[in-house]
Amino acid sequence: MTIKAEGTEERPNRGFVGRCRSAGAVATLLGFAVMGCTTYGPADAASNVEADVVEPSQSALGNYLAGRHAKARADTASAAMFYNAALTEDPENQVLLQRTFLLRLAEGRMDEAAILAERRIQARADAPMARLALAVFALRDGDFAVAREHVESMDRAGFASLMQPMILSWIEAGEQKFDAASGHLDALKSRQAFDAFRSYHSALIAELAQDADAAEAGYREALAGDGRNATRLILSYGALMAGADRLEETEALFTDYLKRVPGNPAVERALSDLAAGERPTPVVTTVQQGAAEAFLGAAGALSRDPANESAKIYTRLALHLRPDLVAARMLLGELLEAEKHYPASIAAYETIEDDSAYRWEARIRIAANLNRLDRVEETVRLLRKMAQERPEDTRALTAAADILRSRERFNEAVIEYDRVFERIDTIEKRHWSLLYARGIAHERSKQWPKAEQDFLRALELMPNQPLVLNYLGYSWIDQGVNLERAMGMIRSAVEQRPNDGYIVDSLGWAHYRLEQYNEAVEQLERAVELRPEDPVINDHLGDAYWRVGRQLEARFQWQHALALGAESDQVPLIEAKLENGLPPE
């Protein structure tokens, strides 16, 4: 996982606004890679859904409605409680039974889920998730016959069209029927989207059958398709080659991967261990681990939609089969984080052992979640401790600086950013975002000369970066300097991001400061359409309306800016405008 500032939009002397370009988990059917973006903005009002404690009612309908409401808020723990209470009142209701069963799975309460799954298949024999869960419970116990019965009985619609043959292939492998296992995987050839996934599991099963040639063919086929950036595939193929004393090829595989996916902790660790004389161990050595790998891959694919409950269910099933699967624990933490279950997410990340390659990334995410829970001092202490542990690393210090900036503690943020730059030997193109972030902290802490220097240096590295063009151009126009160049910079930013309300607002405000009021109204009206909830933009539009003689509309916009939560230092200024209007030019 990387910490980025380039997804951060800010304007001078205004509140923090953060955006992550790629939210949530970044994973594929072939495995799991910690490559997402973590934002550190303050928590919102719904950030800790576990904080609400409501007791079930005595009404089945009331509990059902409460469960639906909790589910809509992604509060699966409360939803499970309410649905279970409703089911107790109406035990034959299949809708309640199905919902309660799925929520029990999503919460990882497997013993309760098993009981509900048995009840579910009594009413619908081919219920896919109930059958799949029961197959997993049997598979974990090594009861391949029972597992087969459940998998063969399930409805194969939807995503089950992937999972049914996949799990069945691992059941066949458990019974040493490797040709039959390959046959089930071949059934997936009609779905091109599953090609790399199929090839990867063909390789894993071939390894289990001690058929190195077939395993090699499967890995190469997966790498030739969509699997070249899949962490789990790379690790597994590397272990196969290292086991055959092909150490130079293994090193080349890991090195090439890190060129495409820099910073991947698992592959970095594998490469480091290889250099130290330690050979990577196989990713899968048992049938249960292979089936867990299938569920992990499916969960990774589904996790791209944070609202998809199946992603969490498949992650729980993977962990039920293989409790030590660290990648699944990380994914569970990310899924809980996406649902704003921050305490539960922290708990999931805390299960990552100290010697795991993912431990550092887990701690970074713990820090992000602590901050969202407004435990700021604890967050910063953790990140500073991490920075001391790895003097060459910049990510923890950058995260601390970003948090302090998001909390408007700009002087402290500058200190942390300065420490980051002390650890960087050579400023490269990729460091533009750090310069931009420090420039914001400098500007907000009233150190404009240093801020300007950072912005100009960032533009040397990335000449057309719209966020930097916008911030610097806005600042210059606000100060009444470099007006022609500043207007050109803002126009360039708008051309690149025409639907960015903040940047369009900058253009409108630039026209206003240049006393081009009609043009200002045109741009600011568009900015309000793009960002109607922003008090600053509404305030700006009010000023422009006043200057073109639309005084009633101006007062409406100023009132609206107050209602939207204008910053405290702006409130008396807006109230004065409501009382007296703008002074004559």
Dist CA 169 CA 229 (whole Å): 24
The closest alpha carbon to 74, from 377, 344, 364, belongs to 344
State which CATH number among 1.10.3720.10, 1.10.10.10, 3.50.50.60, 1.25.40.10 fits the domain covering 398-580. 1.25.40.10
Please classify residue 428 by burial: count the beta carbons closer than 10 Å to its beta carbon, then call 0-12 exposed, 13-18 middle and 19+ buried.
exposed
Q: Residues 271-296, buried b or exposed e (16+ Cβ, 10 A)?
A: bebbeeeeebebbbeebbbbbbbbbb
Q: For residue 499, give the amino acid letter.
A: N
In degrees and rounded to multiples of 5, residue 230 shows phi and psi of -90, 120
Q: For residue 212, give the amino acid letter.
A: A
Per-residue 3-state assignment (H helix, E strand, C coil) for 313-337: HHHHHHHHHCCCCHHHHHHHHHHHH
Dist CA 91 CA 236 (whole Å): 46
Structure tokens at 467: 């966020």
Whether 49-327 and 398-580 share one fold: the answer is yes
Dist CA 53 CA 77 (whole Å): 10
Dist CA 532 CA 316 (whole Å): 40
Q: For residue 139, give the amino acid letter.
A: L
In degrees and rounded to multiples of 5, residue 176 shows phi and psi of 65, 25
pTM comes to 0.80
Residue count of the chain, please give it. 585
The domains of the chain are located at: 49-327, 398-580
Please classify residue 175 by burial: count the beta carbons closer than 10 Å to its beta carbon, then call 0-12 exposed, 13-18 middle and 19+ buried.
middle
Residues 6+ apart with CB under 8 A from 259: none
End-to-end CA distance of the chain: 52
Q: Which residue has tokens 């019965």?
A: 149
With beta carbons less than 8 A apart as the criterion, state whether 225 and 198 touch: no
- What pLDDT tens digit does each residue of the chain (585 aa) get? 222 233 345 555 443 232 232 222 223 445 544 333 445 544 443 344 444 445 555 566 676 677 666 666 666 677 667 776 766 777 788 888 899 899 999 999 999 999 999 999 999 999 999 999 999 999 999 999 999 999 999 988 887 888 999 999 999 999 999 999 999 999 888 888 888 889 999 999 999 999 999 999 999 999 997 788 899 999 999 999 999 999 999 999 999 999 999 889 999 999 999 999 999 999 999 999 999 999 999 998 888 776 678 899 999 999 999 999 999 999 999 999 998 999 999 999 999 999 999 999 999 999 999 999 999 999 999 999 999 999 988 999 999 999 999 999 999 999 999 999 999 999 999 999 999 999 999 999 999 999 999 999 999 999 999 999 999 999 998 898 998 899 999 999 999 999 999 999 999 999 999 899 999 999 999 999 999 999 999 999 999 999 999 999 999 999 999 999 998 989 999 999 999 999 988
Q: Which CATH architecture has domain 49-327?
A: Alpha Horseshoe (1.25)
Please classify residue 522 by burial: count the beta carbons closer than 10 Å to its beta carbon, then call 0-12 exposed, 13-18 middle and 19+ buried.
middle
Q: For residue 459, give the amino acid letter.
A: L
With beta carbons less than 8 A apart as the criterion, state whether 404 and 378 touch: no
